[in-house]
Amino acid sequence: MNATIPAVALKSQYESIRGEIEAALRNLLERQSFILGPEVRELEQLVAQKHGCAHAIGCASGSDALLLSLLALGVGPGDQVIVPAFTFFATAGSVARLGARPLIVDVEPRTFNISPQAVEQALQRSKANGPIKAIIPVHLYGQCADMDALSELAKQHHLYIVEDAAQAILARYREQAAGSMGHCGAFSFFPTKNLGGYGDGGMITTNDSALAERLRSLRVHGATKKYFHTELGLNSRLDNLQAAILLVKARHLDQWTEARRTKAEFYRTAFQLAGLSDSTAAVPTQQRPIVLPYLAPHRTHVYHQFTVRAYRRDELSQSLAQRGIETAVYYPVPLHMQPAFSYLGDLAGQCPESECAANEVLSLPIYPEITEQQQTCVVEEMKRFYGL
């Protein structure tokens, strides 16, 4: 194979909107308006509207969106926050950064999202290390967690919910959008996200007006007006430059999201026709080596990633790389096994579904610009590897 199929194709996306991006940046440079300007306010209004929320507050990154949300809700030393074991480090890192304790629980084997059953078990047994104050459900890979069950648990135990929607812009659960079902929703505009900037950026959504006002203060060092600080906050502002870029991209987001869903369905059909998978497979085997992403009921998946379970995952990934096909593993080490959290104790074996997922998941190239020919090549190379 001559052509490389990248895991992401940011340059192709840029070429399709180059003129719009350059015009937006020229306008910004002419005005020399860089911090919390009109583009930030317009983007906040757009994200709030698209997610059915009263407020959206821009900040410096998705990680800061989590940190600020927890800070605004009063999470601090002595508290515990329930997080899934299988997610990006920032989900639990934001908890620990505030001096609180991440209470790491297992995930569902099919969606890779936090298991309500594991949350319920943790609530029954884990208050010895301090009060449990919040849950952070992660809408992993672009599919919402089981928010009905989690919301009921939060209500019963008087817990805050902070949705980690970093990978789930425009995703939906029943009739509600990601980021609208908890007390706060945290979004990321990292360049590879479905709506990504040309650097870091984040957004917090909420329907609580008082909470929104506090978040706007916390992102500027706790100031209610310039040079008057009522509490300790952060310097975490969304750059106007990033907002200008994101506004251009947001005009295409609905179309790009539908394209991702179409590409995902092409993969599903191609894998089944190739004999690599079937719709009922839950565990990868030598005969059916690929388990396709599970579509949970009442969800609208936005396919930030198309992540399969793969038999002999590491060998497959190496073989594809040799053929010019890039893949990625999100994530190779569950949170409870990260050295940074060794102070929580030896938790190996306590989140078996997360540990299994870390050894099997493989994210395949998926983006609006990928062609059916490229996707067919991915499937054919995987079929060749397995000798099917």
**Which of 242, 167, 240, 253 shows the shortest CA–CA distance to 198?**
242
Asked whether residue 2 carries a pLDDT value surpassing 50, the answer given is no
- Residue 166 in any domain: the answer is yes
298: in domain: yes
Do both 205 and 261 map to the same domain? no
User: Per-residue pLDDT tens for 86-103?
Assistant: 999 999 999 999 999 999
Give me the pLDDT at residue 273, please.
96
* Distances in whole angstroms, Cα of residue 104 to Cα of each of 85, 87, 97, 141: 5, 11, 15, 19
Q: What is the mean pLDDT of the chain?
A: 96
Q: What is the widest separation between alpha-carbon atoms in the chain? A: 68
> Distance (Å, rounded) from C-alpha 340 to C-alpha 117?
26
Report the pLDDT value the prediction gives residue 315, as an integer from 0 to 100.
98
Question: Tokens for 158?
Answer: 């008087």
d(CA 350, CA 313): 23
Q: Is 2 a domain residue?
A: no
Q: Are 182 and 163 in contact (CB under 8 A)?
A: yes
Angstrom distance (rounded) from CA 382 to CA 376 = 10
**Pair (68, 182) in one structural domain:** yes
Distances (CA, A) of 273 to 164, 310, 325, 327, 383: 35, 17, 21, 22, 11
pLDDT in tens, 267-291: 999 999 999 998 787 899 999 999 9
- pLDDT-derived band at 3 (thresholds 50, 70, 90) equals low
Query: Are 222 and 282 within one domain?
Result: no
Which helix (DSSP H) or strand (DSSP E) does residue 177 occupy? strand 176-177
Q: What does the CA dihedral 99, 105, 111, 116 come to, rounded to 10 degrees?
A: -100
pLDDT digits (tens, 9 = 90+) for 35-50: 889 999 999 999 999 9
* Cis peptide leading into residue 331 (ω within 30°): yes
Question: Count of CB atoms within 10 A of residue 295's CB?
Answer: 14
Residue type, 164: D
Q: Do the beta carbons of residue 98 and residue 71 sit within 8 Å?
A: yes
Q: Which two tokens stand for residue 40?
A: 């930030």
Question: What tens digit of pLDDT does each residue of 50-71 get?
Answer: 999 999 999 999 999 999 999 9
| More confidently predicted of 127 and 56 | 56
Q: Which domain holds residue 283?
A: 253-386
**Sign of the C-alpha dihedral, residues 65, 67, 68, 70?**
positive
Q: Are 168 and 245 in the same domain?
A: yes
Q: What is the pLDDT of residues 219-242, one digit of tens each?
A: 999 998 889 999 999 999 999 999
Beta bridge partner(s), residue 17: none
DSSP string of 257-283?
HHHHHHHHHHHHHHHHHTTS--TT--S
CATH for 363: 3.90.1150.10
| pLDDT at position 1 | 43
Q: Which residue has the higher pLDDT, 2 or 118?
A: 118
Is there a single domain that holds both residue 198 and residue 297? no
Phi, psi of 230 (to 5 degrees): -95, -15
With a CB cutoff of 8 Å and minimum separation 6, the contacts of 330 are: 88, 141, 305, 307, 361, 363
Q: For residue 211, tell me if it sits in a domain.
A: yes
- The pTM of this model reads 0.96
Q: What is the pLDDT of residues 152-188, one digit of tens each?
A: 999 999 999 999 999 999 999 999 999 999 999 999 9
Residues 373 and 234 in one domain: no
| Res 279: pLDDT | 78
Together in a domain, 14 and 98: yes
Residue count (the chain): 388
**What is the number of structural domains in the chain?**
2
Q: Six-digit token pair at 20?
A: 């719009």
> Residue 5 falls within a domain, yes or no?
no
> 222 with 263, same domain?
no
